[in-house]
Amino acid sequence: MGQPITVLSTTVEAGVVAFHTDRAITGQDGAQFSSGDDAAEAGTIPGALASKLFTADEAINHVFIASNQVVVGRADGWDEASLAMAAEIVTRFFVFY
């Protein structure tokens, strides 16, 4: 089992949230996904995280991960419950990867 990822800050702008974390999830190159299928087919660590986000919330329509940032687009905008759910997935990702 790994250690939880700490979300250091969260920035919300319209239908997009950016989670800034205490550790890198990718290298310098970013990875973007527009569906759960794209994410699952990638066979990468960022793809696995994106797949978990897409599976948990059907309103999520885009995930971009670069270094220690996870940027997630949601068609219906973000409310407290959806933010908490996405943050929990990011936080617990390395614990059960």
Provide DSSP, 27-80.
Answer: -SS-EEESSHHHHHHH-SHHHHHHHHHHHH-TTEEEEEEETTEEEEEETT---H
* Confidence at 1, pLDDT banded by 50, 70, 90: low
Architecture of the domain defined by 7-96: 2-Layer Sandwich (3.30)
Q: Can you give the length of the chain in residues?
A: 97
Element (H, E) at 20: strand 16-21
Enumerate the domain spans of the chain.
7-96
In tens, the pLDDT along 26-62 reads: 888 899 999 999 999 999 999 999 999 999 999 999 9
